[in-house]
Amino acid sequence: MKAAFPGIVLMLCSYMASAQPQTGEFGGQSVDALAEGKHVATDCSVTWKDKDEKVYCFSDERSRSHFLQDSYGNLERAREFAAAIDSAATTEQMSHFGGDDVKPFVEGYIKQISADHGGSFPFHDAPTNQDLELVYDQIDFMRTLAGYGFFPEAIFHAKEDPEKKYLVDFWVKPRMDKPSELTVVETRIYKGPKREGTKWTLASRQPTPWWWIPASEHPGSSEQTRGWEVMSAVDGYIAAQRGATNRTLKVKDDKTGEELTLDLVGIHQPVRRLQDNGRYFACTDFRKKGGGPDEVYDLDFWVNEKDNKMTVDEVRVHKVPQKTDGHWTQVPRYNFDKMKFDEVP
């Protein structure tokens, strides 16, 4: 059984007029206004759907007509404005919290979920495709990244074996809708148990969670975009799309039209940057929900940078699992043979 993790909300063409008010992206704000750098609340009675069936709201018909004159460009501008506001707001809101706030919040979060699941903390470990039952021991230590959030690391042990330890990182940040409260954005196992003889030892997972990279690099102010910043944009996008009650990501296969339900295994390192247009891309592995351990998709997340903000603007299925002679292999949909790119450290 998997835990329900709170999340955050984000964004990503067909036309539609809704007869009934509904909830849209950006918390129901007018996407046309966001593209112009303004916040305008709506009742979502005037809407538009993109190719991924995401609903965007407008204050009136004129606003929608104006937006549709350049839907792609306007949506990009709306994303960029929302991303800039989110990062700046996160930095400001983080100043109201410290370790004395984050630690009891995470402990309370773990306690509540464990109480709902017979005393153990349920965790789906996508890289090993296992549903774990963990028992909380303590918070080990915590890192902080301005504009991103807090990253406490918790020590757990397996319910069936106290010597089988896990180090689990929690990504925590202030809620955008309720800045006085915290929320868990993502969790990731940083180290897991490895059998050595008759004992269990802790082994670091690969790839490393992106938030460990700036901690090891002693980051400061830099004009050069780092790989971890691109990975953080991808990870944040994935967490937002999965939502508060579901640990899986839904992606439409642009070739078959199939809606894929996927579990994140990891983000590949290093990320890369195209030489001709400066776009970044990160390759990721996702396991098909309910599939076998080797039924893995390779998805590419394309990221643009503007005003020092990273925004995911495209997700493409790069490789698909195909079973041949009883074994799964990844078959590429396209390759990068004609593309020149640099690795981003």
Task: Read off the pLDDT of residues 288-313 as tens digits, 9 standing for 90 and up.
Answer: 888 878 889 999 999 988 766 788 88
Helix ranges restricted to H, the chain: 31-35, 61-68, 71-94, 99-115, 212-217, 227-242
Same domain, 82 and 117: no
Regarding whether 115 and 41 lie in a shared domain, the answer is: no
Mean pLDDT of 11-35: 60
Number of domains the chain is built from: 3
Question: Is the pLDDT confidence value at 19 over 50?
Answer: no
Of 240, 185, 265, 233, which is closest to residue 344 (Cα–Cα)?
A: 233
pLDDT bucket at 87, cuts 50 / 70 / 90: low
Could you say which of 94, 124, 149 is where a domain stops?
94
Domain membership flag for residue 326 = yes
Q: Give the residue carrying structure tokens 């005003």.
A: 307
Report pLDDT for 145. 85
For residue 73, the SS3 value is helix
Cα–Cα distance measured from residue 178 to residue 6, given in angstroms and rounded to the nearest whole number: 13
Which pLDDT band, with edges at 50, 70 and 90, does 86 fall under?
Answer: low
Largest CA distance in the chain: 71
Calculate mean pLDDT across residues 46-71.
88
**Model pLDDT for residues 284-293, shown as the tens digit of each residue:** 999 988 887 8
pLDDT score, position 123 = 93
Looking at the fold, whether 307 and 267 belong to one and the same domain comes out as yes
Q: What angle do CA 98, 165, 205 make, to 5 degrees?
A: 80
Whether residue 188 is found in the same domain as residue 283: no
Q: Which residues constitute the domain of residue 71?
A: 25-94
pLDDT (mean) for 239-265:
80
Q: Which band of pLDDT confidence, cut at 50, 70 and 90, is reported for residue 2?
A: very low
Two tokens, residue 305:
């940078």
Q: What is the band of 28 on the pLDDT scale with cuts at 50, 70, 90?
A: confident
Q: Are residues 340 and 246 in the same domain?
A: yes
Residue 7 lies in a domain: no
**For 294, what's the count of Cα atoms within 13 Å in the CB-facing half-sphere?**
9
Are residue 42 and residue 116 in the same domain, yes or no? Answer: no
Q: Are 297 and 320 in contact (CB under 8 A)?
A: yes
pLDDT for position 119: 94
Tens digit of pLDDT for each residue in 140-196? 888 888 888 899 999 999 999 999 999 999 999 898 778 889 999 889 999 999 998
236 is a domain residue: no
Angle at 51 between CA 46 and CA 54, to 5 degrees: 50
Asked whether the predicted pLDDT for residue 53 surpasses 80, the reply is no
Report the Cα 202 to chain-centroid distance in Å: 26
Same domain, residue pair 255 and 296: yes
Q: Is residue 52 part of a domain?
A: yes
Domain closes at, from 204, 230, 257: 204
Domain boundary pick from 50, 73, 94: 94
Distances 187 to 59, 205, 235, 243, 297 between C-alpha atoms, Å: 37, 13, 11, 13, 21
CB contact set of 79 (below 8 Å; sequence gap of 6+): 11, 311, 313
**Mean pLDDT computed over every residue of the chain:** 82
Q: Detail the DSSP E strand segments found in 52-146.
A: 55-58, 121-125, 130-145
Report which of residues 81 and 28 the model is more confident about: 28
Pick the more confident residue, 213 or 223: 213
Residue 196's nearest CA partner among 245, 222, 243, 163 is: 163
Residue 52: pLDDT band with limits 50, 70, 90? low
Give the model confidence (pLDDT) of 94-132 as tens digits: 888 988 899 999 999 999 999 999 999 999 888 888 899
Asked whether residue 230 is domain-assigned, the answer is no
The conformation of residue 225, written as its DSSP 8-state character, comes to P
pLDDT, residue 17, reads: 33
Bigger pLDDT: 344 vs 172: 172
Q: pLDDT grade, residue 225 (50/70/90)?
A: low
Unique residue bearing structure tokens 């896990």: 166
Q: Is residue 267 part of a domain?
A: yes
Do 155 and 142 meet the contact criterion of CB atoms below 8 Å apart?
no
Judge if 87 and 137 occupy the same domain: no
Tell whether 79 and 113 lie within a shared domain.
Answer: no
Burial of 7 (0-12, 13-18, 19+ CB in 10 A): buried
Region 65-73 average pLDDT: 87
- Alpha carbon 214 to its chain centroid, in Å, reads 18
Q: How confident is the model at residue 317 (pLDDT cuts 50, 70, 90)?
A: very high
Residue 223 lies in a domain: no
Same structural domain, 58 and 117: no
Asked, for residue 216, whether it belongs to a domain, the answer is: no
CB 71 within 8 A of CB 49: no
Can you say how many angstroms the Cα of residue 100 is from the centroid of all Cα atoms in its chain?
26
pLDDT for residue 112? 95
Per the structure block, which two tokens stand in for 11?
A: 């964004």
Residues 137, 234: Cα–Cα separation, whole Å: 30
Secondary structure of residue 22 in the 3-state scheme: coil
For 227-251, how does the pLDDT look when each residue is reduced to its tens digit (9 = 90+)?
888 898 898 888 888 754 467 888 8
Residue 9's pLDDT band (boundaries 50, 70, 90)? Answer: very low
Do 107 and 197 belong to one domain?
A: yes
CA distances (Å), origin 136, targets 41, 121, 163, 165: 42, 7, 13, 10
Are 58 and 119 in a shared domain?
A: no
* pTM exceeding 0.85: no
